[in-house]
Amino acid sequence: MRSSGVPTGSHQALFSESAAWIRSNPFATTHDVPERLAQTWVCELEDPTAPTGFHLSIFTFGYCQRQLLESGVAPGQKLSVPAEKLIDLFQMWQLKLGLVEVHRKTDLRVGPMALFGFPENESIEYWRIAAN
């Protein structure tokens, strides 16, 4: 069920479930994310530049978790990211989540991509599988 159909009271449980999965899988790829979470994380808005608090919270948690681990900063040491960059990366994350669905539900395959990592000039590798 997409998050637009999730009652508001369920957001805390979904956030907790998401955070637990992200903590256990900070370097996950688009091929690793469970179907239930992928569907929950997709933001279905008319204006994709205006994410909801729930979706932005999930993304920000995953992105920051990965950044902290990659940088190796000591506990208590601060990192920062410009808010505009965070919103731009959120939109890229939404694209990656859309590619999860394409990969799983069509004959088009998409190579794995870092779920919460955003290398410069990241490319999407794709191909079609042979029809049976």
pLDDT, residue 9, reads 63
How far is it, in rounded angstroms, from Cα 20 to Cα 89?
21
pLDDT, residue 51, reads 65
pLDDT, residue 12, reads 87
Q: How many domains does the chain have?
A: 1
Helix (H, G, I), strand (E, B) or coil at 127: strand
Q: What is the pLDDT along the chain (132 residues), one digit of tens a residue?
A: 344 444 456 788 999 999 999 999 999 999 999 999 999 999 876 665 556 788 999 999 999 999 999 999 999 999 999 999 999 999 999 999 999 999 999 999 999 999 999 999 999 999 999 876
What is the rounded end-to-end Cα distance, in angstroms, of the chain?
30
How far is it, in rounded angstroms, from Cα 24 to Cα 13?
17
The parent domain of residue 85 ranges over: 3-128
Angle at 50 between CA 46 and CA 54, to 5 degrees: 105
